[in-house]
Structure 1
Amino acid sequence: MDSSAIVEKYFPELNAQQKAQFQELGNLYAEWNEKINVISRKDIDHIYEKHILHALSIAKFQNLSGKKILDVGTGGGLPGIPLAILFPDAQFTLVDSIGKKIKVVQAIVDALGLENVNAYHQRAEKTKGKYDFVVSRAVTRMKAFIHWVNPKIQSDNPNDNSGIIALKGGDLEDEMAEIKRMYQEVPISKYYSEPFFETKKIVFVPF
């Protein structure tokens, strides 16, 4: 398995507790993945680069400190759990329609002692509350996704930079043309030098 050193390489400001939590996170995923498949088997050896560091690219794009974040279709807790470690003063709500995945998320959250995460077995549409940001990783096409989460995003303050931050890959031109609204596309290779990130992107849809 690759190591948490790659996280420390790009986030040198981590404190001792965060370093320990990131080290433990890889072990927890390896352990749980044996029981419930939340990460593809071939990827588990590259958990830090392909999943944890990938999730943390959102932090390179947007400071989430003090914000309320909804992670829709979180699967095994990505991108929400790594971001919750990085931003202990932000509040994270992780939802997924598959119960056994949320069971894994809850177990990992408990093991890491993360007090800023709530995990629920439900669909995005049923989630209560308002959030500064909705995050996701390749859940569905953006047009459908906006429809699901539109009512969840609070934009009371026009100066607030709220909206959807999605991790996607490949050519997004057709998909993003469907939404008929402004968006920003940022190559993750801007932040990380590993070849894996050459085709990966952050898509921000402001609200």
Structure 2
Amino acid sequence: MDIILKYFSDFTAQQLEQFSALKDLYQEWNEKINVISRKDIDALYEKHVLHSLSIAAVHDFEPGTQVVDLGTGGGFPGIPLAIFFPEVQFHLVDSIGKKIKVVEGVAESLGLKNVTAAHSRIEDIKNRKFDIVVSRAVAPLKDLWHWSKPLLKKSPVLGREFKHGLICLKGGDLAQEISESGVKPRRTAIHELFPEAFFQDKYVLQVGI
């Protein structure tokens, strides 16, 4: 928890309580359904929570924004972002039902009223549009963008303003992946936001529509 407070400080008492509760909740759920590697549980706040919040460091979601977390796994980045932005609506989607069970259990325990979850493939979401798609290391950028486009409301990207689009967390040498994607994302090095060894070669990519 200390590593979160090292980089973010403007939290309400409720947010602090919710962030503090994450470790015990994920430990408890992980004993039933393994969604986080056991070696990562001890580094939950750095490797999962702070990593997720790097999205909050580059994009300020306006109240009322509709966000879908594509391939949320155990709830990352969606759960930490939902705590950070209580007035933003998050829909967490994964094709593996047991992971969604964990997401629903964690969200309920935290009292997150701004989170819904669905056991679904992203391609099967119909008749619903979102402002932002977020994702963490789910698939190549080309695929993420292909899946995201039908779900996104369309708006022009004016100057540096980013309203609708995909925000994803990626790592490693991304040159070929970006080239093959056919898009030109804005790339932010997470290590510049949070200078911790874990974030070397990790990035936030933003693709506007």
Question: 1:32 maps to what in 2?
Answer: 29
1:61-76 matches, cutoff 5 A: 61-66=58-63, 67-76=65-74
Could you tell me how far apart the structure 1 residues matched to 2:10 and 2:189 are?
23
Question: 1:147 maps to what in 2?
Answer: 146
Task: Give unmatched runs, 5+ long, in structure 2.
Answer: none
Question: 2:191 maps to what in 1?
Answer: 189
Question: 1:175 maps to what in 2?
Answer: 177
1:173 corresponds to which letter in structure 2? A
Q: Does the 8 Å CA contact 1:153/1:163 hold for their aligned counterparts?
A: yes
1:47-196 matches, cutoff 5 A: 47-66=44-63, 67-128=65-126, 129-156=128-155, 159=158, 161-196=163-198
Could you tell me how far apart the structure 2 residues matched to 1:158 and 1:187 are?
21
Could you tell me how far apart the structure 1 residues matched to 2:39 and 2:26 are?
13
Q: State the aligned residue count.
A: 204
% same residue: 51
TM-score, normalised via structure 2 length:
0.94
Could you tell me how far apart the structure 1 residues matched to 2:154 and 2:109 are?
34
Q: Does the 8 Å CA contact 1:182/1:206 hold for their aligned counterparts?
A: no
Task: Give unmatched runs, 5+ long, in structure 1.
Answer: none
Q: Determine helix, strand or coil for the equivalent of 1:178.
A: helix
1:136 corresponds to which letter in structure 2? S
- Superimposed CA distance per residue, residues 5-50 of structure 1 (whole angstroms, 9 cap, x where no aligned partner): 2112211001110000000011101111111111111111100000
Could you tell me how far apart the structure 1 residues matched to 2:137 and 2:61 are?
20
Q: Which shifted more, 158-167 or 134-143?
A: 158-167
Distance apart, 1:157 and its partner CA? 5.9
Q: Determine helix, strand or coil for the equivalent of 1:78.
A: coil
Query: Following superposition, which runs of at least 4 residues in structure 1 exceed 3 angstroms of deviation?
Result: 156-160
- Superimposed CA distance per residue, residues 151-175 of structure 1 (whole angstroms, 9 cap, x where no aligned partner): 1011146555211100010000000
Could you tell me how far apart the structure 1 residues matched to 2:185 and 2:195 are?
24
TM-score, normalised via structure 1 length:
0.95
1:79 corresponds to which letter in structure 2? P
Could you tell me how far apart the structure 2 residues matched to 1:199 and 1:158 are?
27
Could you tell me how far apart the structure 1 residues matched to 2:10 and 2:133 are?
25
Matched, 1:21 2:23: no
Matched, 1:5 2:2: yes
